[in-house]
Amino acid sequence: MPTFYPAETLLIEGPDAMAFAHAQFSSNVSSLATGRWQFSAWLDPQGRVRALFHLARLADDRYLVLLRGGSALAMVEALRRFVFRSKLSLAALPLRALTTGPSMPLHMFGDDAGILSLGCDTHSLQITASEIGDDAWRLPQLRAGWPWLPTQRLNELLPASLSLQRLHAVAVDKGCYPGQEIVARLHYRGGHKRHLHSVTLSQAANAGDTLRDGDREVGCVLDVAAAHDGIAALVVLVDDVAAQAREGYLGPLDDGLKIHLDASWPA
């Protein structure tokens, strides 16, 4: 049977849409041109990632949010508390399917007969009304270090753990937004001790799993995808444990899990 990979999407539209998104989200929304997309995030006041998403500018006053984990309806309800007198509307869209499309320049956005395409370089991520989805896009995005947040990891991780500055999903040179003070402090003073890694696992794991070494929590699994050479995963690890890898191999951790570090990213 075909698999339905749901696209959790929402619309922000109205004369104040850009100003609202720029004030709430961590990326430099004001620099986003029509027909383009950027990574962005919505943080809580403690700097933890409430939502990670693609933000596409459909028109001067119209933005599409494609969540990388989480619920569009829940995000809309939470964002409405901050609208106040702003002239804009927020709406969660019906669930659609995510599919893999042909190569398309990174950060380009297209709409062809209702099929929305986000350029991801070697492929495109498409949002369609079909109930038939595929997951061919997951492995190249995992290998590129594009996080997908399982439900149990929402509201938990700091942007530095997810390498969001590398993806230009957080900006330290724009005005205030929720969590901005934490982002700036970690950027200028450092001190964060968890970072993102693309890995190959010795055995199956699930997105959201906690990684343990005895009584100590040493990281978590964000995403898992089948690869020709094993089980690929995107994980967050504490730095001192990652530093123990020998010839790229780490472990065994609890349950005999061994990890090969394929790529690692700074904040």
Q: Give the percent of the chain with pLDDT over 90.
A: 84
What average pLDDT does range 178-189 have in this prediction? Answer: 88
CATH of region 6-187, choose from 3.40.50.2300, 3.30.565.10, 3.30.1360.120, 3.30.2320.50: 3.30.1360.120
Q: List the structure tokens of 201.
A: 């696992």
CATH of region 193-265, choose from 2.40.30.110, 3.40.50.2300, 2.40.160.10, 2.60.40.10: 2.40.30.110
**Can you tell me the distance from the alpha carbon of 74 to that of 92, in angstroms, rounded to the nearest whole number?**
9
Can you give the residue ranges of every domain in the chain?
A: 6-187, 193-265
Indicate the helix (H) or strand (E) that contains 23.
Answer: helix 17-24
Strand order in the sheet with 9-13: 37-43, 49-59, 62-67, 9-13, 89-92
- pLDDT tens digits for range 22-51: 999 999 999 999 999 999 999 999 999 999
pLDDT of residue 180 exceeding 70, the answer is yes
- pLDDT tens digits for range 209-243: 999 999 999 999 999 998 888 899 999 999 999 99
Residues, the chain: 267
